[in-house]
Structure 1
């Protein structure tokens, strides 16, 4: 019997989830999920408190959670939640203190790595160093909260 693969998303702890979502949506050319309709329904039903929400990019959003999704993947129009490739940013009280144990590898188009580095730096990324190993090269970078990732 063939089993159905599990659905998944990457969850990133964040000091400011909305700033992180804004950066990563632009970096990956993803879309920030709009959960406004769901939140309005839950507020109207008394299921959530106003303090759990904020105004973000012209609509109601969760104060402590926001996700980005691939623009070509399906999503639930009733909740705005992506049903494919997603990254969810969740607020945590403590700042990042050590190196990531998991990171993203981004892959630029052939010959466009330097242009992508410049674009990502304009969005708020920091370049740490370039690695050359066995004829393969990549740039180690950090997002606005210091999470490491690599650009190939």
Structure 2
């Protein structure tokens, strides 16, 4: 018997706004809002029984739930997302993410890294890794 990662919960001062940012980053859609929580994910049309069958068969892409908190983020994340472009190169994706509202940030990574450390609009760090797009070779 094992467990599967079904969703990730992120504290947010403005859950709806942060959910919209991450929808833009990941191509997700809003599943719904309940009280102070907003859930986003990749396939809103899949019935629960099909999703459960997939979860039993293999790991799947988790949804994200943004939950309202009153306090602002402080300090470096202990856990962060690593994202990778799938349709273009890293530079083009970096420009797109910055246009969505991400900012470059320094968590002590140093120069010359193959990834770029960014922060979402509420300061949560995440990394933009090399591209997986066909025909693009990045180290």
Runs of 5+ unmatched residues, structure 2: 49-54, 130-139
TM-score when normalising by structure 2: 0.72
Separation of aligned partners in 2, 1:140 and 1:28: 16
- Provide the rounded CA distance (Å) in 1 between the counterparts of 2:87 and 2:41: 24
How does the TM-score come out when normalised to structure 1? 0.67
Structure 1 residues 4 and 14, CA, compared in 2 at 3 Å: closer, same or farther?
same
* Aligned match of 2:112: 132
| Equivalent residues in 2 for 1:1-152, closer than 5 Å | 3-34=1-32, 61-71=33-43, 74-76=46-48, 85-109=62-86, 112-128=89-105, 132-133=112-113, 137-152=114-129
> When the two structures are aligned, how many residues end up with a matched partner?
116
1:29-88 per-position Cα deviation (integer Å, ceiling 9, x unaligned): 111113xxxxxxxxxxxxxxxxxxxxxxxxxx3341001102388354xxxxxx862011
Find runs of 4+ consecutive structure 1 residues off by over 4 angstroms.
none
Q: Residue 105 of structure 2 contacts residue 117 of structure 2 at CA under 8 Å; is this kept in 1? A: yes
Larger Rg belongs to: 1
Shift of 1:6: 3.4
CA 1:94/1:75 → structure 2, altered by over 3 Å: closer, same or farther? Answer: farther
The structure carrying a bigger strand percent of its residues is: 1
- Cα-Cα RMSD: 2.5
Consecutive unaligned residues in structure 1, runs of 5 or more: 35-60, 77-82
